[in-house]
C-alpha cells in the first residue's frame, strides 16, 4: 500500500482493532455505584479480622465496660444487626432504583448518572455493607471456649446505631433528590463548575480562531463511541518528537464512528506524516465511551436542563412551569458564558511552536442547544415561549460583543416566528411584548426592557 502523502484529503481507515483497554478515570470511578461501597466493605473486613485477634480475659475492666455479657449474647447481637442491615440495604437499593426510574421517565435519562455518582447514596451503601461484613465476620469467629472479641462486638454495636441513622437520613435525601427543583439545581451547579474549569474568563467574550496550513492528512480512529475527554498533554509530546502539528476535529460530547476523521495533521517540513505513531497517540488521547460525561463536556448540563424542559411540556407530563424554571437556570449559564473565551484552543510546545489546536464550542451553539428544542416543542404554550424570551432578554442585557447580540437577535426572531397563528391573540400579544423587550435590551434600554407591572415579566 502506498504511504499517505502530505496534503491528501482522505486516509484509508484502519482495520477495526480490538476493544480499547479498560480505563479507570476519576469521573468513571465517581459515577460507579459499586466502587466506594466496595472499598468500605473491604476496609470493614480487614478491620474486623484485626480486631478479632483482641480477646481480653474476663478480668479486664475495660472489656467488661464494652461488653459485660457472654458469647451467646454477643452472637445474638451480631445476628440481629446482620439481619437488620441487610433489610436496610434492600430498602436503600429499592429507593435508588425507584429514583433512577422516576428520573429517567419523568425528567431525562441523562440524569441517571447523577444519581449513580451521588456521594450520599454511596456512603449509605458503604456503611450498611460494612456493618454486615463486620457482623458476619464476628459471628464466624465466635467460640464458646474463648473470650468474647469485645472490640468487634462494640464496633458492631456502634455501626448498628449508625446504620439506622444513615438510613433515616438517606430516606430524607431521596425525598429531596426526587424533587425536580433539586435536579435542576444540581444540573445547574455541575454545569457551572465545568464551564468555569473549561473556559477561562474574557471581558470581551471573543471566540478564538487559529490559522493553519491548507491540506493536511486526515486521521481516523479505530473505534466508535462518544468522546468523553481529550488528554492533550501526552499528544503534545508525540507531536513535538515527530515535528508535527495537529488540529483535533472533535470535542467532548461528539459521537465518532469507526473510520471517520477526527484530526488533521501537518508535518513541519511539508513531508510525509508518521501515521502509526500519530494514530496510537490519538487513540490514547481520546477517551471514547458509550455515554457523555461531565468531566470535560461543558454542554452536558445544559442538555440535561433542556431535556427537563422538553419532557415537562410533553403531553404525558404537561408541566409548563417546570419548563419555564429550567429556562431560568439555562439563562444563568448562558450569561456566565458571555464573559468566557469560547472556541478553539491552541497548545504550544516549550519552543513556542503551535503544535495542537483543539476544537471548542461557540456562543451560537449554546444558544441553539437551549432555545431550539424548547421553542419547537412549546409552539402552543405561551408560558414556555415567554420564558425563552425572558432568557434571551437576560442574555441581551449582559452581552459583551456584537456577535453575541446578533445571535440573541436571531433566536428572538425564531421564537416570534413560531407563534404565528398558533394561539389566541391575547397570548400572542404577550409573547410579542416580551420579544420587544429583548430588542430594547439589545439596544441598551434596560429600563424599558425590565419595567413591568408587579413582576409580570419576571415571574411565572
Is 333 within 8 Å of 301 (Cβ atoms)? yes
Indicate whether 333 belongs to any domain.
yes
Ramachandran sector of residue 262 (left: φ over 0; alpha: ψ -120 to 50; beta: rest) = alpha
What the block records as the C-alpha cell of 39 is 472499598
455 found inside a domain: no
Query: 33 with 168, same domain?
Result: yes
Range of the domain at 76: 26-178
Total domains present in the chain = 2
Task: Going residue by residue through the chain, which has 460 residues, state the pLDDT in tens, using 9 for 90 and above.
Answer: 444 444 444 444 444 544 444 455 666 666 677 888 889 999 999 999 998 888 786 667 776 777 777 788 888 989 999 999 999 988 888 888 888 788 778 888 888 777 777 888 889 999 999 999 999 998 888 877 777 788 888 899 999 999 999 999 999 998 888 888 999 999 999 999 999 999 999 888 877 777 777 888 899 988 899 999 999 888 998 899 888 999 999 999 999 999 899 999 998 887 778 788 889 999 889 999 888 888 889 999 999 999 999 999 998 888 999 999 999 999 999 999 999 999 889 998 888 888 999 999 999 999 999 999 999 999 889 999 999 999 999 999 999 999 999 999 999 999 999 887 668 888 889 999 999 999 999 999 999 999 875 566 677 6
* Domain assignment present for 116: yes
The full length of the chain comes to 460
Q: How far apart are the first and last CA of the chain?
A: 66
On whether residue 246 sits in a domain, the answer given is: no
Alpha-carbon torsion angle 375, 379, 382, 385, nearest 10: 10
Tell me the HSE value of 284 on the side-chain side, using a 13 A CA sphere.
11
Return the closest-CA partner of residue 338 out of 442, 188, 439, 204.
204
Residue at grid coordinates 425525598: 175
- The pLDDT value recorded for residue 203 is 84
Q: Using CA atoms in the order 6, 7, 12, 14, what is the torsion angle rounded to 10 degrees?
A: 50
At 71, phi and psi to the nearest 5?
-70, -40
The residue from 156, 178, 200 where one domain ends is 178
* Pair (173, 305) in one structural domain: no
All three cell numbers of 301, joined, read 448540563
Q: Is residue 183 part of a domain?
A: no
Q: Return the residue matching grid coordinates 404537561.
A: 318
Residue 149 lies in a domain: yes
Domain end residue (candidates: 118, 150, 178): 178
pTM of the predicted model over 0.75: yes
The owner of cell 419555564 is: 324
In this prediction, residue 7 carries a pLDDT of 41
Report if residue 142 sits inside a domain.
Answer: yes
pLDDT score, position 12: 44
Here the cell at position 318 is 404537561
| C-alpha cell recorded at residue 355 | 503544535
Q: For residue 8, what pLDDT is reported? A: 42
- Burial of residue 364, with CB atoms counted within 10 A of its CB: 0-12 exposed, 13-18 middle, 19 or more buried: middle
Q: Per the domain annotation, does 195 fall within a domain?
A: no
Cα-trace Rg, the chain: 29
Q: Give Dmax (Cα) for the chain.
A: 91
Q: 127, 162, 178 — which closes off a domain?
A: 178
What does the pLDDT read at residue 455?
66
Amino acid at each position: 500500500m502506498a504511504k499517505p502523502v502530505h496534503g491528501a484529503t482522505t486516509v484509508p481507515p484502519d482495520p477495526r482493532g480490538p476493544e480499547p483497554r479498560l480505563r479507570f478515570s476519576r469521573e468513571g470511578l465517581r459515577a460507579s455505584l459499586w466502587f466506594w461501597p466496595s472499598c468500605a466493605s473491604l476496609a470493614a473486613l480487614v478491620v474486623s479480622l484485626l480486631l478479632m485477634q483482641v480477646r481480653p480475659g474476663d478480668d479486664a475492666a475495660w472489656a467488661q465496660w464494652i461488653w459485660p455479657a457472654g458469647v451467646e449474647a454477643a452472637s445474638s447481637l451480631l445476628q440481629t444487626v446482620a439481619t437488620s442491615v441487610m433489610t436496610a440495604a434492600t430498602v436503600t437499593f429499592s429507593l435508588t432504583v425507584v429514583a433512577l426510574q422516576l428520573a429517567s421517565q419523568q425528567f431525562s435519562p441523562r440524569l441517571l448518572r447523577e444519581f449513580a455518582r451521588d456521594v450520599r447514596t454511596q456512603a449509605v451503601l458503604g456503611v450498611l455493607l460494612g456493618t454486615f461484613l463486620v457482623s458476619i465476620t464476628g459471628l464466624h469467629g465466635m467460640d464458646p471456649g474463648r473470650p468474647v472479641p469485645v472490640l468487634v462486638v462494640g464496633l458492631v454495636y456502634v455501626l448498628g446505631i449508625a446504620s439506622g441513622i444513615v438510613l433515616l437520613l438517606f430516606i430524607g435525601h431521596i425525598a429531596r433528590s426526587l424533587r425536580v427543583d433539586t435536579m435542576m439545581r444540581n444540573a445547574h451547579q455541575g454545569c457551572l463548575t465545568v464551564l468555569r474549569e473549561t473556559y477561562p474568563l474574557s471581558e470581551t467574550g471573543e471566540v478564538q480562531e487559529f490559522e493553519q496550513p491548507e491540506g493536511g492528512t486526515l486521521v481516523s480512529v479505530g473505534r466508535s463511541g462518544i468522546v468523553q475527554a481529550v488528554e492533550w498533554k501526552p499528544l503534545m509530546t508525540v507531536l513535538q518528537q515527530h515535528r508535527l502539528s495537529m488540529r483535533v476535529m472533535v470535542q467532548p460530547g461528539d459521537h465518532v464512528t469507526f473510520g471517520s476523521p477526527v484530526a488533521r495533521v501537518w508535518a513541519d517540513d511539508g513531508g510525509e506524516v508518521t501515521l502509526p505513531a500519530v494514530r496510537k497517540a490519538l487513540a490514547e488521547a481520546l477517551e471514547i465511551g458509550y455515554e457523555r460525561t461531565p468531566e470535560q463536556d461543558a454542554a452536558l448540563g445544559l442538555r440535561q436542563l433542556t431535556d427537563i424542559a422538553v419532557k415537562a411540556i410533553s403531553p404525558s407530563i404537561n408541566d409548563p412551569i417546570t419548563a419555564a424554571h429550567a429556562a431560568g437556570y439555562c439563562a444563568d449559564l448562558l450569561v456566565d458564558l458571555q464573559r468566557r473565551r469560547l472556541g478553539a484552543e491552541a497548545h504550544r510546545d516549550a519552543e513556542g511552536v503551535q503544535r495542537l489546536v483543539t476544537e471548542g464550542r461557540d456562543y451560537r451553539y449554546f444558544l441553539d442547544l437551549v432555545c431550539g428544542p424548547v421553542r419547537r416543542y412549546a409552539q402552543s404554550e405561551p408560558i414556555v415561549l415567554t420564558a425563552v424570551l425572558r432568557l434571551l432578554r437576560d442574555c441581551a442585557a449582559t452581552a459583551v460583543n456584537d456577535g453575541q447580540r446578533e445571535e440573541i437577535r436571531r433566536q428572538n426572531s425564531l421564537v416570534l416566528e413560531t407563534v404565528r397563528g398558533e394561539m389566541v391573540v391575547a397570548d400572542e400579544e404577550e409573547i410579542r411584548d416580551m420579544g420587544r423587550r429583548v430588542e430594547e435590551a439589545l439596544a441598551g434600554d434596560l429600563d424599558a426592557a425590565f419595567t413591568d407591572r408587579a413582576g409580570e415579566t419576571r415571574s411565572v
